[in-house]
């Protein structure tokens, strides 16, 4: 029987683990499909406090993981297949194991949707990015592409004009899912050039480990063209990793967990932290902060039961 199980080993999960371990709760972290979360998929991180020269995302994660281990956190590999949160102890099944726990912290994250092209995967962190706030400053005076037709794409394209010389907004249809106000703002920005209806077919050049060109295909006529660019921002949405919690935890229409009073969910003793409950800020530091809050609440929950 565990006092606390943490699902997810990104910034939120690992920070929760540090706090829970230091509170003597001997946390168990279940790593999940993407150990290390979104930071493990990026390169330079320049906005995490305490690292004036910046730090590589995977290194930041590795250091945070070691910090959690130092105070006795246990890690098990494997993604969660099912949960039973109907009564305590909660039951969590991952791989062949079923674990029992008095409290649960869900920090399973949200995965950025990707186009699904191999070259895009290979160049992630080398010119391909899923986060304008994180990586925009690396593209000062460059020509870059933002892909997507929703509010995220409009917001990121507009934000990126602060740095970029030109932002090309590529969308597969000529109609946009974005709200009128966000679309109008992007249209009014002289630095944004709309390119529709185009899909990204290929990102070059994987052999040089940098983005130099993309091949676009017109989704109506089939015409192909290549466009020079130094950055490619994928802004086609995120999917919170919450499928296994359907029917157990309250979530919004997009599948994000709904929390109240900080990290509390609708089930007493189950807390949520990081991107799994936040589609607004999505930053390493906000995820870490909410992981800390979840661990403190788990500790207080257990202490109140004992009293």
| Contact pattern from residue 253 through residue 282 relative to ligand NDP, giving x for each residue in contact according to CB under 6 A and a dash for the rest | --------------------------x---
Q: Restricting to residues 153-172, which ones interact with ligand NDP according to CB under 6 A?
A: 153, 155, 172
Rounded least distance, CB 110 to ligand NDP, Å? 10
Q: Which of 125, 149, 231, 291 binds ligand NDP (CB under 6 A)?
A: 149
Q: Toward ligand NDP, which CB reaches closer, 104 or 168?
A: 168
Quick check: 109 binds ligand NDP (CB under 6 A)?
Answer: no
- What is the 3-state composition of the chain as percent helix, strand, coil, each rounded to the nearest 5? 30, 30, 40
C-alpha to C-alpha distance for 90 and 101, rounded to whole angstroms: 5
Question: How would you label 123-161 residue by residue, b for 16+ Cβ within 10 Å and e otherwise?
Answer: bbbebbbbbbebbbebbeebbbbbbbbbbbbbbbbbbbb
C-alpha to C-alpha distance for 113 and 237, rounded to whole angstroms: 6
Stretch that binds ligand NDP, among 72-80, 103-111, 148-156, 257-265 (CB under 6 A): 148-156
Q: Say whether 131 is catalytic.
A: yes
Residues 11, 31, 135, 278: which is the catalytic one? 135
Quick check: 115 binds ligand NDP (CB under 6 A)?
Answer: yes
C-alpha to C-alpha distance for 145 and 129, rounded to whole angstroms: 10
Residues 6+ apart with CB under 8 A from 145: 167, 168, 169, 170, 200, 214, 227, 229, 231, 232, 233
Rounded least distance, CB 267 to ligand NDP, Å? 25
Quick check: 185 binds ligand NDP (CB under 6 A)?
Answer: no
Task: Enumerate the active-site residues.
Answer: 131, 134-135
Which residues contribute to the site for ligand NDP (CB under 6 A)? 113, 115, 148-153, 155, 172-173, 177, 236-237, 279
């Amino acid at each position: 029987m565990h006092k606390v199980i943490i699902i997810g080993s990104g910034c939120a999960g690992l920070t929760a683990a540090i706090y829970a371990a230091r509170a003597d709760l001997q946390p168990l972290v279940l790593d999940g499909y993407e150990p290390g979360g979104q930071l493990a998929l990026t390169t330079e991180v320049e906005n995490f406090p305490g690292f004036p020269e910046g730090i590589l995302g995977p290194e930041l994660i590795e250091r945070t993981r070691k910090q959690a281990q130092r105070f006795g956190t246990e890690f098990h590999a494997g993604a969660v297949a099912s949960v039973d949160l109907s009564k305590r102890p909660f039951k969590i099944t991952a791989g062949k194991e079923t674990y029992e726990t008095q409290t649960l912290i869900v920090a399973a994250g949200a995965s950025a949707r990707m186009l699904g092209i191999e070259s895009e995967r290979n160049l992630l962190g080398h010119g391909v990015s899923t986060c304008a706030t994180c990586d925009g400053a690396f593209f000062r005076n460059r020509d870059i592409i933002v892909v997507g037709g929703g509010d995220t794409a409009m917001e990121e394209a507009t934000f990126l004009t602060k740095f970029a010389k030109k932002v090309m907004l590529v969308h597969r249809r000529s109609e946009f899912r974005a709200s009128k106000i966000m679309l109008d703002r992007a249209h009014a920005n002289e630095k944004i050039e709309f390119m529709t209806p185009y899909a990204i077919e290929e990102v070059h050049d994987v052999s040089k480990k940098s983005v130099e060109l993309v091949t676009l295909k017109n989704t109506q006529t089939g015409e192909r063209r290549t466009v020079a660019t130094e950055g490619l921002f994928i802004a086609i949405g995120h999917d919170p990793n919450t499928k296994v919690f359907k029917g157990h935890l309250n979530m919004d229409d997009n599948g994000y967990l709904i929390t109240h009073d900080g990290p509390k969910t609708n089930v007493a003793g189950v807390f949520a932290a990081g991107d799994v409950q936040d589609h607004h800020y999505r930053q390493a530091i906000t995820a870490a902060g909410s992981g800390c809050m979840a661990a403190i609440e788990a500790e207080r929950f257990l202490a109140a039961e004992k009293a």
